[in-house]
C-alpha cells in the first residue's frame, strides 16, 4: 500500500534519483528540427535528455535552455513476463538515462526507427559559390506533403515520427510537428498517443519477452525538465494553470536576480548594458484526453504541478526495476510532491486560496518569498507535470499534446534597453510586470531606471504565453494554419560595388504565388532583418544591394508570399480568411557574412587599417561595424598576401592568409592564435605578397 505524506519525505530523494542516472544504452538515432526560431533534436526512443552533449533544445537568439528533460509512465497491479505481480511499476525516460534495449525500445517501421517527412526539400543557399544548405536527404528523410496532411497536420512544414515500446506494454506513437509561418515558428508541438499493446514482443536486441496481455490500471504520464532561461541554470521555474481562471497550462522558466551589487535581472553586460539573458521558455500542455473513451480535452489536467526541485548527484546508480522505488515514484503521480525543505509549505487539493481543488500542486517557486534561486533549490530550478490516471483495456489508447516554446526581447531591444539602463535613462509606460520576487524584495530594484529595465525584460512572459496560445490555437484548428509558398533557393555574391542576391523559381509552383521579398541584416544574423526589396509576380529573380558599406557584414533571406486567396483564417483573429503569408525566413537565411569585395590595391602603399585606432567603447556603442564589436579590416590589400600581426615588442600575435582576390581582409575576433583577446597597445602588421613584396602598417587597439 502507498504510504502517507510522512513516509513520502524520503520519496522525494528517491524519485529524483530516477531522473539523474547514468546512460545505459543510447543509439543516438535522431532527426533535427531547425526550420523556425525553436530548434530541437528528436530521438527515435522519445529520449529528451542531452545524450549528444550540445544537441539540446534551443531558442533562436538565446542560450541553450531545456538541457535535461525526462518523461515517466506509471501503472499499478501489473503482471510481468515472469508472472510476478507488481503493485506499482514505472517505465520511461530519465535524465541521463536511456535504456533502449529493454525499457524504451524504438520500433522499426520499414527498416527505419524514425522518419522525417518534409513538405518540400530545403532550398540551396549559396554564398560566394559555396552551398551552405543542410545535407538532404539523409536516411529516413522523405519529401511527402500528402503524408504530413494524412497525419493530421495540413499546415505543418515538417513531421518527425517514431514508435516506442515501453517495458510496461504501452506503445507510444510519437509525432512532432514544426511550422515556419509567422506566429507559429516559436514553438514545436509533440503529439503523442499511448496504446495498451501488452502481449509478447521481441526486444531490439532479439530477446523474446512473453508479457501477458492485460488491462493497464491507473496509468500516469509525467514530464520533468531543468529549464534554463537565463543560461546560468539559476532562473526561476514556475507554473501557470493550476488555479481557477488560468487560461493556459504552462510550466516555464525566466531570469532571476543574483546576489550582485547591481540589478542583475536580465543579466545586463556591465560594460555595455546589453541584456544577455532576457528570455522566457517553457512547456505548454495543449490537450489531454479525459479517458480512452472520451477524447475531449480534460480541463483538470495536468493533475500535479511542482517547481524548484532540488538538485541531486548524477553519479548515483538506480535500479528502476526495484519495486520499492517504483512504489515511491508512483506515489508522486498519485499524491504530488511533498514540501521541498523545512518551512516550505506544500499545497494539495486546493488548500491554497484561489487554487483548483482538482489539482495537486506546491506553492509556485517564485512565490515562496525566497530571494535567490540558489537559496531555494541549491541547484537548478526544475518543473514537473503529471497527467492521468487512465484505465486501458488492450488496444485502447489516449492522447497527450504539448509544446515547447520561447519568448523574449529581440536583439535590437536588448541593445536599446540595455544602453538606456547603463545611461540611467530607461523608461517604462504601462502596467507593472515585475515578477513576485521583485515585489517581495524591493531592495533588488533600487531605482526607477532599474524598474523600467526589469519591466522590459518581463515582457518575455507575454511573448511566451502568446506563443503557447498560438500553439494551442493551431492544435484546436487541426494544425490547419495557412501554408505559404515553398521558399526559393538563394545565391549571394559580394562584388566590388554591390552585393548580388539571386533566387530560383521553386516558389512559383504554389497556385496562389504572388511575389518575392528580400530581407537584410547588418553585422550578425542574430538580429532583426529589414525588408529591402519586394517584387510582384514571377518576372524578377535578382536584386542588387548597392547600399552596402565597405567593411560591413551582411546577411540576407528571400521569402515568397501568396495572395491569400486560398488561406483559411489565422491565429490573429481566427475569423478573417485570405491573409497573405510568406515562406519561412530560416529556410534560406544566410549565416555566413557577405561583404563588398573591393578590387585589390594597386600598390602596397594603398593598405590601411579601419578603424585606426580601434576603440572598444566606440564599437560597443555601434559606431563602427554594427553587430561586430571586435573587428578591424585591412583595406587596399593586394589580391593575395600574408598578414602577420606583431606587438610593438616584436611578438607574433596573429597570422591571416588573404587569398580571395579582393582588397579587404577582416580580423573579426581580435584574438591571438591561442584565442586570447588582445590587450590595448600599438600593433604592427607586416604584409607580404607571394612575390616577396613587403609593407608595414601600424595601428592601435584601445580597450
* Nearest-angstrom CA–CA distance, 607 and 600: 10
Residue 60: what pLDDT?
55
* Nearest-angstrom CA–CA distance, 630 and 71: 43
Residue 94: what pLDDT?
75
- Is the CB of residue 227 less than 8 Å from the CB of residue 237? yes
Cis peptide before 611 (omega within 30 of 0): yes
Residue 380: what pLDDT?
58
Query: Where is 38: in which H helix or E strand?
Result: strand 38-43
User: Which residues 6+ apart lie within 8 Å of 630 measured at CB?
Assistant: 616, 619, 668, 669, 670, 671, 677
Q: Where are the beta strands (DSSP E) in 230-299?
A: 236-240, 250-254, 280-291, 294-297
Longest dimension (CA), the chain: 89
- Is the CB of residue 184 less than 8 Å from the CB of residue 474? yes
- Per-residue HEC secondary structure of 529-554 comes to CEEEEEEECCCCCEEEECCCCCCCCE
Q: How many residues does the chain have?
A: 703
Looking at the DSSP assignment, which residues form a beta bridge with residue 702?
615
Residue 297: what pLDDT?
96
Helix (H, G, I), strand (E, B) or coil at 34: coil
Cell triple for 219: 496509468
Report how far apart, in Å, the C-alpha atoms of 310 and of each of 20, 96, 229, 651 are.
Answer: 12, 16, 17, 50
pTM: predicted TM-score of the whole model, two decimal places: 0.85
Helix (H, G, I), strand (E, B) or coil at 63: coil
Residue 309: what pLDDT?
52
Backbone angles phi, psi at 405, to 5 degrees: -145, 160
DSSP state of 97: B
Looking at the DSSP assignment, which residues form a beta bridge with residue 502?
491, 542
Report how far apart, in Å, the C-alpha atoms of 10 and of each of 89, 339, 385, 514, 574 are.
Answer: 18, 11, 20, 64, 49
* Nearest-angstrom CA–CA distance, 84 and 212: 11
- Is the CB of residue 632 less than 8 Å from the CB of residue 548? no
Residue 372: what pLDDT?
86
- Is the CB of residue 223 less than 8 Å from the CB of residue 421? no
Place of cell 526589469: 454
Report how far apart, in Å, the C-alpha atoms of 683 and of each of 601, 644, 646, 700 are.
Answer: 22, 10, 6, 6
Cell triple for 586: 530560416
- Residue ranges for the chain with pLDDT beneath 50: 1-26, 51-57, 64, 310-318, 339-356
Residue 355: what pLDDT?
45
Residue 528: what pLDDT?
84
Residue 384: what pLDDT?
83
End-to-end CA distance of the chain: 68
Cell triple for 655: 597570422
- Is the CB of residue 162 less than 8 Å from the CB of residue 152? no
Place of cell 545535407: 135
Closest CA to 303 of 239, 382, 225: 239
* Nearest-angstrom CA–CA distance, 461 and 407: 7
- Is the CB of residue 668 less than 8 Å from the CB of residue 631? yes
Q: How far is CA 631 from the centre of its chain?
A: 29
What is the DSSP pairing of strand 85-93 with strand 64-79?
Answer: antiparallel
User: Which residues 6+ apart lie within 8 Å of 12 measured at CB?
Assistant: 310, 337, 338, 340
Place of cell 506513437: 173
Cell triple for 496: 566590388
Report how far apart, in Å, the C-alpha atoms of 550 and of each of 72, 102, 599, 634 are.
Answer: 56, 60, 12, 11
Amino acid at each position: 500500500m502507498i504510504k502517507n505524506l510522512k513516509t513520502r519525505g524520503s520519496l522525494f530523494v528517491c524519485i529524483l534519483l530516477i531522473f539523474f542516472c547514468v546512460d545505459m544504452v543510447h543509439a543516438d538515432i535522431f532527426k533535427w528540427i531547425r526550420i523556425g526560431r525553436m530548434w530541437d533534436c528528436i530521438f527515435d526512443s522519445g529520449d529528451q535528455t542531452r545524450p549528444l552533449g550540445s544537441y539540446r533544445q534551443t531558442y533562436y537568439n538565446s542560450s541553450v535552455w531545456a538541457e535535461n528533460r525526462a518523461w515517466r509512465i506509471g501503472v499499478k497491479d501489473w503482471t510481468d513476463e515472469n508472472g510476478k505481480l507488481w503493485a506499482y511499476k514505472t517505465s520511461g525516460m530519465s535524465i541521463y538515462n536511456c535504456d533502449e534495449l529493454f525499457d524504451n525500445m524504438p520500433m522499426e517501421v520499414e527498416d527505419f526507427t524514425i522518419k522525417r517527412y518534409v513538405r518540400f526539400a530545403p532550398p540551396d543557399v549559396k554564398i560566394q559559390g559555396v552551398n551552405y544548405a543542410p545535407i538532404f536527404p539523409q536516411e529516413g528523410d522523405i519529401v511527402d506533403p500528402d503524408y504530413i496532411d494524412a497525419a493530421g497536420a495540413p499546415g505543418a512544414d515538417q513531421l518527425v515520427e517514431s514508435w516506442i515500446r515501453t517495458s510496461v506494454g504501452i506503445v507510444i506513437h510519437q509525432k512532432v510537428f514544426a511550422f515556419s509561418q509567422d506566429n507559429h515558428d516559436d514553438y514545436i508541438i509533440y503529439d503523442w498517443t499511448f496504446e495498451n499493446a501488452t502481449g509478447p514482443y521481441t526486444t531490439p536486441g532479439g530477446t523474446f519477452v512473453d508479457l501477458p496481455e492485460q488491462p493497464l490500471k491507473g496509468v500516469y504520464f509525467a514530464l520533468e525538465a531543468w529549464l534554463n532561461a537565463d543560461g546560468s541554470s539559476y532562473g526561476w521555474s514556475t507554473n501557470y494553470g493550476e488555479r481557477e481562471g488560468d487560461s493556459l497550462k504552462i510550466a516555464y522558466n525566466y531570469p532571476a536576480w543574483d546576489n550582485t551589487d547591481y540589478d542583475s535581472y536580465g543579466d545586463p553586460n556591465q560594460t555595455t548594458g546589453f541584456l544577455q539573458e532576457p528570455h522566457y521558455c517553457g512547456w505548454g500542455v495543449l490537450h489531454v484526453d479525459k479517458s480512452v473513451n472520451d477524447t475531449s480535452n480534460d480541463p483538470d489536467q495536468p493533475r500535479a504541478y511542482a517547481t524548484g526541485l532540488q538538485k541531486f548527484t548524477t553519479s548515483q546508480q538506480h535500479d528502476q526495476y526495484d519495486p520499492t522505488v517504483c512504489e515511491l515514484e508512483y506515489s508522486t503521480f498519485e499524491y504530488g510532491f511533498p514540501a521541498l525543505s523545512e518551512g516550505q509549505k506544500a499545497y494539495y487539493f486546493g488548500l491554497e486560496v484561489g487554487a483548483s481543488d482538482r489539482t495537486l500542486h506546491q506553492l509556485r517557486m517564485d512565490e515562496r518569498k525566497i530571494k535567490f534561486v540558489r537559496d531555494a533549490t541549491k541547484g537548478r530550478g526544475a518543473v514537473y507535470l503529471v497527467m492521468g490516471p487512465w484505465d486501458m483495456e488492450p488496444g485502447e489508447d489516449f492522447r497527450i499534446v504539448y509544446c515547447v516554446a520561447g519568448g523574449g526581447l529581440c536583439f535590437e531591444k536588448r541593445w536599446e534597453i540595455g544602453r538606456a539602463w547603463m545611461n540611467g535613462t530607461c523608461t517604462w509606460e504601462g502596467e507593472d510586470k515585475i515578477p513576485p520576487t521583485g515585489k517581495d524584495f524591493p531592495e533588488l530594484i533600487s531605482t526607477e531606471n532599474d524598474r523600467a529595465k526589469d519591466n522590459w525584460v518581463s515582457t518575455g512572459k507575454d511573448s511566451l504565453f502568446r506563443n503557447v496560445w498560438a500553439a494551442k490555437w493551431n492544435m484546436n484548428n487541426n494544425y490547419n494554419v495557412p501554408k505559404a509558398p515553398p521558399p526559393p533557393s538563394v545565391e549571394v555574391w559580394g562584388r566590388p560595388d554591390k552585393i548580388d542576391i539571386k533566387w530560383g523559381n521553386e516558389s512559383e509552383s504554389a497556385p496562389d504565388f504572388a511575389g518575392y521579398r528580400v530581407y537584410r541584416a547588418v553585422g550578425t544574423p542574430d538580429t532583426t532583418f529589414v525588408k529591402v526589396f519586394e517584387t510582384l509576380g514571377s518576372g524578377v529573380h535578382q536584386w542588387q544591394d548597392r547600399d552596402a558599406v565597405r567593411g560591413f557584414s551582411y546577411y540576407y533571406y528571400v521569402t515568397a508570399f501568396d495572395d491569400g486567396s486560398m488561406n483559411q483564417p489565422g491565429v490573429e483573429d481566427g475569423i478573417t480568411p485570405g491573409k497573405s503569408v510568406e515562406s519561412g525566413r530560416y529556410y534560406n537565411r544566410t549565416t555566413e557574412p557577405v561583404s563588398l569585395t573591393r578590387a585589390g590595391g594597386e600598390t602596397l602603399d594603398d593598405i590601411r587599417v579601419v578603424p585606426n585606432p580601434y576603440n572598444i567603447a566606440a564599437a560597443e556603442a555601434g559606431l563602427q561595424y554594427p553587430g561586430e564589436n571586435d573587428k578591424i579590416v585591412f583595406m587596399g590589400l593586394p589580391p593575395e598576401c600574408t598578414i602577420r600581426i606583431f606587438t610593438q615588442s616584436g611578438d607574433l600575435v596573429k597570422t591571416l592568409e588573404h587569398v580571395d582576390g579582393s582588397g579587404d581582409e577582416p580580423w573579426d575576433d581580435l584574438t591571438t592564435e591561442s584565442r586570447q583577446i588582445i590587450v590595448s597597445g600599438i600593433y604592427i602588421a607586416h604584409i607580404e605578397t607571394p612575390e616577396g613584396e613587403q609593407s608595414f602598417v601600424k595601428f592601435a587597439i584601445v580597450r
